[in-house]
């Protein structure tokens, strides 16, 4: 397994009145993906200034290309993706590569 890490910062805008239902679906996804070999951590946060927004910050072993080739194709992701049209208005994904860290040892950079 690679010593490289990739992080995904994903912002979701829930449809009005659907945030908690979406949070539940996202939690099911995280439970599934947390057993993957390359999974390191995930943090879900609410945006205090945007009440319909929910952000997940994931850390994975590998690269963007390895994540896309190995994780995106998982069957449980297909089921999850199928629920999103009813629950969210928008999703914005940022791909990150950690270069320094303070206060934890998640990335060891």
What are the residue boundaries of the structural domains of the chain, listed by start?
Answer: 5-96
Q: What is the pLDDT of residue 104?
A: 81
Burial of 63 (0-12, 13-18, 19+ CB in 10 A): middle
Lowest mean pLDDT among 8-17, 43-52, 94-103: 94-103
Long-range contacts of 32-40 (CB under 8 A, 24+ apart): 32/74, 32/76, 33/58, 33/71, 33/74, 33/76, 33/77, 36/71, 36/74, 37/1, 37/61, 38/1, 38/62, 38/66, 38/67, 38/70, 38/71, 40/5, 40/106
DSSP for residue 52: T
Q: What is the pLDDT of residue 2?
A: 56
Give dist(CA 47, CA 70) in Å, integer: 30
Q: What is the pLDDT of residue 94?
A: 98
Looking at 3.30.70.100, 3.40.50.620, 3.40.50.300, 3.30.360.10, the CATH number of the domain 5-96 comes to 3.30.70.100
The mean pLDDT of the chain is 94
Q: The pTM is what?
A: 0.90
pLDDT tens for residues 43-62? 999 999 999 999 999 999 99
């Amino acid at each position: 397994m690679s010593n490289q890490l990739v992080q995904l910062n994903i912002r979701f805008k829930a449809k009005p009145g659907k945030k908690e239902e979406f949070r539940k679906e996202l939690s099911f996804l995280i439970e599934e993906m947390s057993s993957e070999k390359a999974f390191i951590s995930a943090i879900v946060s609410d945006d205090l200034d945007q009440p319909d927004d929910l952000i997940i910050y994931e850390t994975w072993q590998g690269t963007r290309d390895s994540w896309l080739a190995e994780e995106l194709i998982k069957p449980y992701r297909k089921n999850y993706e199928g629920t999103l049209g009813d629950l969210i208005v928008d999703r914005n994904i940022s791909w990150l590569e950690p270069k320094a860290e303070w206060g934890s040892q998640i990335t060891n950079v």
